[in-house]
Amino acid sequence: MTSEMLFGAATFLVGGIPFAYLIGKLHGIDIRKIGSGNIGVTNLVRALGLPWGVLALLGDGAKGAVPVYFASRLYPESSWMPFLIGAVAVIGHCFTPYLRFRGGKGVATAAGVLCALDPLVLATLFAVWLAGLVILRVVGIASSLAAVAAIAFGVQRLVSSLGRDDADAHKSLLLAVLLCVLAVLVLWRHRRNLAEFFRARPAEHER
């Protein structure tokens, strides 16, 4: 097994660490059995309050940022390695091997990945998320809007890289692919939130 494969396997295991679940357990609760049943930050905030949610958020973000950082340092000759490692970290979070592959929704870990790869893109997507949260007041829908914006960014980066053969174009292409992959994964993990949201809209109009 190559060092790249070992690093990828380690990243998957680190990405799978369910910080919100572990914090809940330390307080004698299983967040899978309360609220939405999700092992993510939002459900932990509902159960234990904002400070513990922030702690879990930092842990989930670090699971994405730290492996990407080390991938760029350990494999400087492989421009694709940090992007692949970022995707593996998010997949590990969404399908944690420690909880029978039932994990979180990937937003915080994806944010950590983007923080290490392109902070400007992360800041823009955070602005979209925050605007969605302020207007719609639903965390899952705000996250879905940010995922849609990530796809738009990915398409823009893809178009900008076409017809070019330089390092910046190659990085734009890799980032475009990663943005689209992560966005689709986040949208898939939020499919129930989206279904409930759109079911609720017509009901509100009928009142």
CA dist 2 and 193 (Å) reads 40
Number of H helices, E strands in the chain: 10, 0
> Whole-model pTM above 0.75?
yes
pLDDT tens column, 125-184 = 999 999 999 999 999 999 999 999 999 999 998 888 887 877 788 889 999 999 999 999
Domains of the chain, residue spans: 1-117, 118-207
Candidates 119, 121, 66; CA nearest to 89 is 66
Confidence band, pLDDT 50/70/90 cuts, at residue 204: low
